[in-house]
């Protein structure tokens, strides 16, 4: 077993998942303002520290994706954030892309930037304690999209990123996200997601990536947010599993789904059904942001000093998703 493979398995084994706390300052500002909290470095740290020091971290959260600001912050107990995460046997990670910009010659699509200077940034993040990274490519579905240009450009960037990350002895999370925006059917989502993931792995293989030291972070197969042809959770599970079985090489140790606009309960229920039906060798877990944090954030916003209450809300969601990652969740457990 390679060092990279053992890191990937540590993050995802035994029902553990990933807390995606890598919101940029702009995104975090929107989240905080939505609950009438001023977005300051202190407030952003205070909320995240509450989550990272909660009791569910050691049992449920195998890894935490951080943002550049957060990985460099010191906690109120004088540990830096990566030390706090390591102290509960979780693995610190870092988002390293610099965001999606308009793709030249295809103005309705995006290309993710951040390769310039990445090698040096990775060395710095490794010294700070990061042992895995994340890079997100985004694709929208319409009759014309995603175009071959967008699929190729983002897959190529994900492969170049992965090569640099593994060179630095870290595990790359590869996130090719086919967005829920639009009125497309689940079948459209299945077709486009399959095409995107297949192309992504073709590029990873051509860049000589060690697939045993990669985590895939895909979307589930869902109808578009504006579609009137929503499908049942059982169908979501069936199509998602078929897509991944047909598209992902067997060497990949684990898949950590993004929640991508689903509600907290939807994201948990769909993950649970995927694991009930999982007839592959892949670990199927979660890498959720809003679907792990939203209820905790709402609770915290009512009283910033109520850390214990905030942690209680977060612990519940983390436990529910860890049950789902083992196919052991039920609606009754929510109460």
Q: What mean pLDDT is predicted for residues 87-109?
A: 97
Percent of the chain with pLDDT strictly greater than 90 = 97
Residue-wise pLDDT for 36-53, tens only, equals: 999 999 999 999 999 999
Q: What mean pLDDT is predicted for residues 66-72?
A: 97
Residue-wise pLDDT for 108-144, tens only, equals: 999 999 999 999 999 999 999 999 999 999 999 999 9
The whole-angstrom separation of Cα 92 and Cα 6 is 14
Pairing mode, strands 61-66 and 17-20: parallel
Residue-wise pLDDT for 266-287, tens only, equals: 999 999 999 999 999 999 999 9
Do the beta carbons of residue 90 and residue 61 sit within 8 Å?
A: yes
pLDDT of residue 261: 86
Tell me the chain's radius of gyration from C-alpha atoms.
19
pTM for this structure?
0.97
pLDDT of residue 191: 97
pLDDT of residue 86: 97
Do the beta carbons of residue 247 and residue 297 sit within 8 Å?
A: no
pLDDT of residue 12: 97
Q: What mean pLDDT is predicted for residues 85-111?
A: 97
pLDDT of residue 335: 86
Is 142 exposed, middle or buried, given 0-12, 13-18 or 19+ CB atoms closer than 10 A?
Answer: middle
The whole-angstrom separation of Cα 198 and Cα 22 is 26
Residue-wise pLDDT for 223-256, tens only, equals: 999 998 899 999 999 999 999 999 999 999 999 9
pLDDT of residue 77: 87
Residue-wise pLDDT for 171-194, tens only, equals: 999 999 999 999 999 999 999 999
Q: How many CA atoms lie within 13 A of 307 on its CB side?
A: 14
Q: What mean pLDDT is predicted for residues 52-77?
A: 96
Domains along the sequence of the chain with CATH: 3-329 (3.20.20.70)
Could you please report the per-residue DSSP string of 102-134? EETTEEEEEEE---TTHHHHHHHHHHHT--EEE
pLDDT of residue 1: 74
The whole-angstrom separation of Cα 248 and Cα 245 is 6
As a whole number, the mean pLDDT across the chain is: 96
pLDDT of residue 20 exceeding 90: yes
Active site residues: 175, 217
């Amino acid at each position: 077993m390679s060092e990279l493979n053992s890191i990937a398995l540590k993050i995802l084994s035994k029902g553990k998942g990933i807390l995606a706390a890598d919101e940029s300052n702009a995104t975090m500002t929107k989240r905080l303002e939505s609950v009438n909290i001023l977005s300051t470095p202190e407030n952003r740290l205070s909320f995240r520290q509450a989550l990272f020091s909660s009791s569910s971290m050691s049992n449920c959260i195998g890894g935490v994706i951080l943002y550049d600001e957060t990985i460099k912050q010191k906690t109120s107990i004088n540990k830096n954030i990566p030390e706090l995460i390591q102290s509960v046997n979780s693995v610190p990670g870092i988002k390293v892309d610099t965001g999606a910009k308009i793709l030249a010659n295809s103005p309705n699509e995006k290309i993710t930037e951040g390769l310039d200077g990445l090698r040096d940034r990775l060395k710095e993040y490794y010294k700070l304690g990061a042992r895995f990274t994340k890079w997100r490519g985004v694709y929208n579905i319409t009759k014309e999209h995603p175009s071959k240009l967008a699929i190729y450009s983002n897959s190529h960037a994900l492969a170049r990123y992965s090569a640099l990350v593994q060179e630095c002895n870290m595990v790359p999370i590869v996130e090719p996200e086919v967005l829920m925006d639009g009125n497309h059917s689940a079948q459209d989502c299945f077709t486009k997601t399959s095409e995107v993931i297949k192309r992504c792995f073709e590029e990873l293989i051509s860049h000589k990536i060690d697939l045993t030291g990669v985590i895939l972070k895909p979307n589930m197969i869902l109808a578009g947010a504006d579609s009137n042809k929503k499908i049942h959770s059982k169908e979501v599970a069936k199509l998602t599993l078929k897509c991944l079985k047909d598209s992902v090489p067997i060497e990949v140790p684990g898949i950590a789904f993004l929640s991508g606009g689903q509600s907290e309960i939807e994201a948990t229920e769909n993950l649970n059904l995927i694991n009930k039906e999982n007839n592959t060798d892949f670990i199927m877990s979660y890498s959720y942001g809003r679907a792990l944090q939203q209820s905790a954030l709402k609770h915290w916003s009512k009283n910033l000093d109520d850390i214990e209450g905030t942690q209680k809300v977060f612990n519940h969601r983390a436990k529910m998703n860890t049950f789902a990652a083992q196919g052991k969740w039920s609606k009754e457990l929510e109460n």
